[in-house]
Structure 1
Amino acid sequence: MKQVSIQHRIKMKKLADLIIKNPDLPVITMTDNDDTISGITGGVSYIAGCLPEVSIDYIYSRTSKDLLLGNGEYRPYVKSFDEHVGLEILRERVSYRDNTLDAEYLKKEATKIWNNLAWRKVILVYSGQLENADDVYKERGVVR
């Protein structure tokens, strides 16, 4: 169990270092949300998480007149996580406007739109989902 505690300390130090070196950046947290835990389809569950990844990333919140609007996600896009999905949505939207465009042009146009979105630089803390409440204690090194 000491290994878990050491890994946790290393990741917490990385987070602290990023905050100290970038005091002007907001800290944004993300945690997996598995609604099957709540037992209610479509319900919301609040889940504790361990700290596997800390990095500087970019987020983008959609607006009402956005080409990315309406993809079913209620969270902001995270540049490193969502690029593949975002580019696919943008290619579909650009091709819907003009279905005579070739695939290479669609890819270039979608990439240009994606890169020119109003991305906001943040410190991203991504917490993976813990399987059950006992994992909180395992993460802290309290139990085996």
Structure 2
Amino acid sequence: MTLDVGQLWDAAWPALTLLLGALASLFTAVFPARHQARLTAVLAAVAFLLSAQGFYFQWEVGHTQALDLLVVDPFSLFLGILISLIGFATVLIAYPYWLSQSEAIPEFFSLLLFAAFGMVTMVLTTQLLVFVLGLE
């Protein structure tokens, strides 16, 4: 088995969008608190929408398998779109409530993105070890 990075990237980029969005929202801690609230929510919303768009574009490709780890089939794509859209709706619903709290925790949105990345990893994988890694 050879490592084909292009094939792995084609199969995993919507899921990696969630991971990169989570890491980017963690880096917003350097901004002042008044800008940090809006920036973390916007980053999370954009990451969820880009991920849903990526899964939708992969719908045309069909069945793909990358390194015997990831399978992109219609069922996993449907669940990836569903997870991404539910995450986006969660950001939209949680943002006003999050602002009304006396102590707003900005890590909420990055934790939401990490959880969605784990769910998508569990949906896309064929290996038990990667499934358990996604569960963590």
Q: Greater RCO between the two (CA within 8 Å, min separation 6)?
A: 1
Q: Greater CA radius of gyration, 1 or 2?
A: 1
* Common fold by TM > 0.5: no
Greater fraction strand: 1
What TM-score, normalized by structure 2, do the two folds share? 0.28
